[in-house]
Copies of this chain bind each other. A is one copy, B any other.
Amino acid sequence: MFKPDFKKMELLPAIAQDAATGEVLMLAYMNEQAWNATLETGEAHYWSRSRQELWHKGGTSGHVQKVKSIRLDCDSDTVLLLIEQVGGAACHKGYKSCFYRELKDGQVRECSPVVFDPKEVYR
């Protein structure tokens, strides 16, 4: 059956990857409720660990993640969502990807473009 094994852990990591470019955008956590909501709506839902509630990513701003396909790993304990990020930025800091810092050849640099200014968006 194509379903994560929530008996193993109540919260499982879910990776969001840009379906078009392959860029890894973020990682959040899903419980069974978030998994079901994602399947039912076709938009990524996670479980917010800080707010302890179901989190429809972009539900307020409109910057939702449209799910193009879902992959499961061999142990059924990690979810990979291939998505279209509406608005272009997955990161609350305004970057396209939450993974915007990179260590390469001994140097740390920013590796993801800024899409919006969080000071303008979160007032």
Contact = CB atoms under 8 A, between A and B. Distances in A.
Contact of A99 (B21, B22, B26, B71): B71
Contacts of A22: 21-23
- Classify chain A: how many residues form its interface, as a range: 20 to 34
Contacts of A99: 71-73, 78, 80
Contacts of A111: 71
A102 B70 contact: yes
Nearest to A21: B22
B17 A70 contact: no
A52 interface: no
A13 B105 CA distance: 23
Contacts of A93: 74
Choose among A22, A68, A74, A92 the residue with the greatest number of B CB atoms under 10 Å from its CB: A74
